Structure 1
Amino acid sequence: MSTRIPDDQVHSRRSRRIGALLATCACGSLLVSCGSDNNAGGGVSASVRPTAPNESNFSGTAPSALSSAASSIIGSARASASAAASSLSAAASEFEASVSADTARASAQAQAELKKVQGPGNARSDVAMTGLPRAKTGGLLAVLVNITNNTDRTASYAVQVDFKNPDGKVVETRFVGAENLKPGQRAQPVAISRQPTQPQLTPVLAKAQRY
């Protein structure tokens, strides 16, 4: 004897079967859409949508900023060069002023004495010259004139220094002197050229007179 299943239970079972079938189809469709023909291993390859980068993480410098930085560096270098040139000029003026203060009167006296002298003078053997480093003269060409009284009595000296160019032409003349040197005593006046550094000049002992 068979038992008849009520209609409402039949409809309920059909609904559950249909729902399960739809879920299975949906899952299969999802797997198919996620699969990749290029994936040889048969694994799932998800497609990731690109996102915009976070600009706050960038550390690069914009071209305009680079240009500004370069201009700043060039300006700083020019300012440093200008400052160095001004400093060198100031050092030269200071050196010359310190020398001139000590030798101005002696120089005038030496020039006056040498006007009376014909030829190289009588005291060239008592005079020697030594070049001074430009680093100590502010870039000026200067020579230390060593005057030594090699006689047995007090004497004064007048010295002429000529500065010659590479062609041997005298382009500048300086006078230095020393007064009342005792026997064996030494004086060291400085002769300074005010000519440009180029062409290079050579200092030459032109005259030395003892009086």
Structure 2
Amino acid sequence: MSVRAPQATRAPRRPRVPSAPAALLLAAVSALALTACGGGDGGDGASARPTPTPPDTASFSGTPATALSSLEASARERASAAASSASARASEFEASVSAEVTRASEAAQRELDGVNGRGNATADVSLTGKPRSETGGLLAVVVNITNSTDRTASYAVQVDFRDPDGKVAETRFVGAEDLKAGERAQPLAISRKPAEPRLTAEVAKAQRY
């Protein structure tokens, strides 16, 4: 009987260590893989930022905005409407003065034509300003006439409106007829001059007859 010779025992294989160039290549590939996988939400990798989109100028017209022009036009319209409204209020106020008052004014002017000096009744007359808000912007004064005598009398009053230099810019005449003893009348003297320059009203003449 034959005897087989024992087989030689093989030595275990040692793992192969990659060379330096191969190791560097492997590290670079691993880094690229990690970068690709780590770019998601909440990862350590840097997230991509959106690039701003420039405005689409194709939809713009060649004409600049006209907001300023619109504001100026609106302001002009408001100013014109305010002026028209003020003129209408002034006309309404003047129209409210009755024809009887106008007749008395004409009579007062005729009476004062022959009066020298300031007349005999300036002590019975005083002036009170009237708010422009009630006159449509016109300058108007209330002429307070009180019959201080013990008999019935009529009055003629001249009101001068003077400018800041003291010159007479306008004159108005008012009157009150047949006032009983102690009775009072309050006609209006209305200036039609512009609001500027400011005028001052004064009793120039007052005659009792």
TM score, norm. by length of structure 2: 0.72
What SS does the corresponding residue of 1:119 show, helix, strand or coil? coil
8 Å CA contact 1:35–1:44 kept in 2: the answer is no
What SS does the corresponding residue of 2:202 show, helix, strand or coil? strand
Mapping 1:75-114, distance limit 5 Å: 75-99=73-97, 101-114=99-112
Q: Which residue does 1:134 correspond to in 2? A: 132
Give how far 1:163 is off.
1.1
Structure 2, unmatched stretches of 5+, are 5-25
8 Å CA contact 2:35–2:45 kept in 1: the answer is no
Mapping 1:46-85, distance limit 5 Å: 46-48=46-48, 50=50, 67-85=65-83
**Cα distance 1:69–1:103, how it changes in 2: closer, same or farther (>3 A)?**
same
Mapping 1:183-194, distance limit 5 Å: 183-194=181-192
**Are 1:158 and 2:156 matched, yes or no?**
yes
**Cα distance 1:64–1:131, how it changes in 2: closer, same or farther (>3 A)?**
farther
Structure 2 CA distance for aligned equivalents of residues 109 and 52 of structure 1: 86
Structure 2 CA distance for aligned equivalents of residues 123 and 199 of structure 1: 30
Over 3 Å off, 4+ runs: 24-27, 32-36, 62-71
Q: Which residue does 2:30 correspond to in 1? A: 28
Q: Deviations over 1:143-190 (max 9, x none)?
A: 100111111111111000111112221121110001111111111111
Give how far 1:28 is off.
2.3
Q: Max radius of gyration: which structure? A: 2
Structure 2 CA distance for aligned equivalents of residues 63 and 128 of structure 1: 68
**Are 1:119 and 2:121 matched, yes or no?**
no
Aligned-residue sequence identity (percent) comes to 62
Mapping 1:8-19, distance limit 5 Å: none
- Counting matched residue pairs gives 177
RMSD over aligned Cα, in angstroms?
3.3
Structure 2 CA distance for aligned equivalents of residues 63 and 88 of structure 1: 42
Structure 1 CA distance for aligned equivalents of residues 140 and 33 of structure 2: 95
Give how far 1:34 is off.
3.8
Structure 2 CA distance for aligned equivalents of residues 27 and 206 of structure 1: 113
Give how far 1:100 is off.
5.3
Structure 1 CA distance for aligned equivalents of residues 77 and 146 of structure 2: 47
TM score, norm. by length of structure 1: 0.72
